[in-house]
């Protein structure tokens, strides 16, 4: 069901639109947590380390997939808000072509580079075999990651956040079942966890494709829509690729952080792996609020309503900061309990290190919420390259903290790297966003005045 957000109560639009995305993200994280919990509990802490040792490179590659796929749909949301449905369908078709090209190139490249990546990450010898099996399988599933993220973003661009949630909820449940079946029944080990994740993502993407084709008439392509348009494709690339790069550049800093942590030994590798899963789970509502805010802003950008854009930004910001405070409280009070989801209670040293990591980063979740809102809102108005600058600042801050302080302060430096990264990016993005909002308002007022003058002359 499509929905325009260019009229009506701003808080209700953003909050209620975000709820299915929140639950969808939580389900998505649930099958990541299921992988980690089942692997850690049934196969041991070394197996958990094998899953977590490459988490930064997974975030870099899969983040590029997610960001690029979402970026390809920004023009769709803008044209939907402007009620130019013929152009919207053409952007949708061109996005499909770009998605296929991206899937082929990225899958081939990552599968070839899988072994060098694990060596670059200084993967401990005792973890290498399982880590390779897991990472290679995840890379093989990149086409399905792109497919689901693109199609679900298309649905959200036209105001439907419920349907992607339903498909994702089904596939998450299936993933948990497949985890148990592949690991406990078929004895497939760490490979089984990755295989279950890929199969679940594939089903989710295929269901989205069937639904779009059968049920969404507004996106049903006619013969005239199925034309490759270089101008439209270039615009989608100019938004999508910087969005993907922003995720990847941020992840480079996380990869350096992972390398620094891996050098501290298997205790901290396992502690970081457990802590990272919880961190990502607690982050998922923030990502949802930011995604809802960006969709709201994109539609109103197309409808030429600058005041609603500004109010939408600040409403989403408030929601994210309130949630960030709640998350900070939970992570500080229950860090050990959450870590024990993945680790046997006898691993006291690992659990304590994981809880420390969660407590320290939790304090900065309101800052992370601010970062997510401003970063995705910047993308929502088509200024993806400025988001890349924010990502570069994040990368530099993480690398600086890890390179300068890890040798002296060990795991304590790892626990502080994210906070430095988030703060650096926020200090750039807030003034940049407000400057662009002023510019957009001036451009819209000028365009509206020119159209009125043109209409008056024609009369």
Where do the domains of the chain lie? 10-458
CA separation for the pair 70, 154 (Å, rounded)? 8
CA separation for the pair 179, 176 (Å, rounded)? 5
**Closest to 361 in 3D by CA, of 285, 427, 303, 423:** 423
Give 8's DSSP letter.
S
Contact call for residues 242 and 388 (beta carbons, < 8 A): yes
CA separation for the pair 444, 449 (Å, rounded)? 9
1 has pLDDT over 60 = no
Handedness of CA 105, 108, 113, 117 (dihedral sign): positive
pLDDT, tens digit, 9 for 90 and up, residues 307-347: 899 999 999 999 999 999 999 999 999 888 888 776 767 77
C-alpha distances out from residue 399 to 7, 250, 413, 416, Å: 44, 10, 11, 12
Handedness of CA 436, 440, 446, 447 (dihedral sign): positive
**Closest to 203 in 3D by CA, of 173, 182, 180:** 173
343-352 mean pLDDT: 77
As given in the structure block, the two tokens for residue 271 are: 């502690």
pTM given for the model: 0.76
pLDDT at 458: 66
pLDDT, tens digit, 9 for 90 and up, residues 375-417: 989 888 878 788 888 888 988 998 899 888 888 888 888 888 9
CA atoms within 13 A on the CB side of 220: 7
Average pLDDT, the chain: 84
31 has pLDDT over 60 = yes
If you write DSSP's letter for every residue of 408-447 in order, what string do you get?
HHTHHHHHHHHHHHHHHHHHHHHHHHHHHHHHHHHHHHHH
């Amino acid at each position: 069901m499509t929905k325009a957000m260019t009229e009506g109560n701003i808080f209700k639009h953003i909050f209620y639109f975000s709820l299915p995305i929140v639950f969808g993200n939580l389900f998505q994280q649930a099958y990541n947590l299921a992988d980690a919990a089942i692997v850690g509990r049934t196969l041991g802490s070394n197996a958990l380390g094998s899953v977590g040792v490459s988490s930064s490179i997974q975030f870099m590659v899969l983040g590029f997939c997610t960001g690029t796929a979402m970026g390809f749909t920004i023009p769709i949301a803008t044209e939907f808000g402007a009620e130019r449905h013929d152009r919207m369908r053409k952007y949708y078709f061109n996005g499909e072509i770009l998605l296929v090209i991206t899937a082929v190139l990225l899958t081939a490249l990552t599968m070839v580079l899988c072994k060098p990546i694990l060596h670059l990450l200084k993967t401990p010898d005792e973890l290498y075999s399982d880590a390779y099996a897991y990472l290679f399988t995840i890379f093989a599933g990149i086409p399905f990651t792109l497919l689901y993220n693109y199609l679900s973003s298309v649905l959200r661009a036209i105001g439907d956040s419920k349907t992607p949630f339903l498909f994702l909820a089904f596939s998450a449940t299936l993933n948990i079942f497949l985890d148990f079946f592949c690991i406990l029944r078929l004895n497939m080990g760490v490979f089984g966890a990755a295989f279950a994740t890929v199969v679940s993502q594939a089903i989710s993407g295929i269901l989205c494709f069937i639904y779009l084709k059968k049920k969404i008439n507004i996106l049903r392509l006619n013969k005239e829509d199925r034309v490759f348009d270089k101008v439209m494709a270039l615009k989608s690339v100019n938004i999508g690729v910087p969005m993907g790069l922003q995720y990847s550049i941020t992840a480079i800093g996380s990869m350096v952080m992972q390398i620094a942590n891996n050098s501290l030994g298997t205790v901290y590798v396992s502690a970081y792996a457990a802590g990272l899963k919880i961190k990502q789970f607690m982050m998922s509502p923030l990502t949802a609020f930011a995604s809802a805010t960006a969709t709201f802003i994109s539609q109103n950008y197309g409808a030429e309503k600058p005041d609603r854009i500004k109010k939408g930004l600040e409403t989403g910001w408030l929601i994210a900061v309130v949630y960030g405070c709640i998350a900070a409280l939970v992570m500080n009070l229950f860090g050990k309990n959450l870590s024990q989801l993945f680790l046997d209670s006898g691993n006291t040293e690992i659990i304590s290190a994981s809880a420390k990591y969660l407590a320290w980063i939790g304090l900065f979740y309101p800052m992370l919420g601010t970062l997510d809102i401003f970063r995705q809102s910047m993308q929502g108005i088509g200024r993806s390259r400025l988001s890349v600058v924010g990502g570069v600042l994040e990368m530099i801050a993480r690398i600086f903290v890890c390179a300068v302080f890890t040798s002296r302060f060990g795991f304590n430096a790892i626990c502080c790297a994210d906070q430095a990264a988030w703060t650096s990016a926020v200090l750039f993005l807030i003034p940049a966003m407000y400057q662009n909002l002023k510019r957009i308002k001036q451009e819209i007022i000028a365009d509206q005045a020119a159209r009125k003058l043109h209409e008056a002359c024609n009369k």
